[in-house]
Amino acid sequence: MAADAPLAPTLAADELSRTLTSIALDFSPDADDGGSSIIGYELWKDEGIAGSPYSMIYNGTGKPEQISFIASGLTTGLTYRFKLYSRNAIYKSPESNIEIVLVGTVPA
């Protein structure tokens, strides 16, 4: 059994995957898993407006091998904030860094 919560994972946007309505996000667990293997991740995003509430868009509990997710259905021109949690057998980690993504493609 786990003695503690895992430390916060790291979340990064894959800038090369950016489209007008989506972005791929990569997960990386901290080396300190709290004494029990990571069993999955939860990814949350806001509504693209500063101060808006977050909602879970991916529940990967039971899928620790899943270390990326494509957030789709986003609105071009909005700036979204994403945060990630990892889970071990008992606890959820503190939130990751907040990854801020302006949705859209870079002009040629």
58: domain CATH number is: 2.60.40.10
Residue 3 is assigned to a structural domain of this protein: no
Confidence band for 71, pLDDT divided at 50, 70 and 90: very high
Spatial separation of the C-alpha atoms in residues 85 and 18, rounded to whole Å: 22
Residue 47 is assigned to a structural domain of this protein: yes
* Whole-structure pTM value: 0.90
Residue 4 is assigned to a structural domain of this protein: no
Residue 30 pLDDT > 90: no
Residue 49 is assigned to a structural domain of this protein: yes
Query: How open is the CA angle 89-68-107, to the nearest 5 degrees?
Result: 155
Residue 39 is assigned to a structural domain of this protein: yes
Give the pLDDT confidence of 14-25 residue by residue, as tens digits. 988 889 999 999
Spatial separation of the C-alpha atoms in residues 27 and 24, rounded to whole Å: 10
Instruction: Say how many domains are in the chain.
Output: 1
Residue 74 is assigned to a structural domain of this protein: yes
Q: Note whether 7 and 94 are within 8 A (CB).
A: yes
Give the pLDDT confidence of 6-15 residue by residue, as tens digits. 999 999 999 8
Residue 46 structural domain: 10-102
The predicted model gives 62-83 an average pLDDT of 95
Q: Largest Cα–Cα distance in the chain?
A: 53
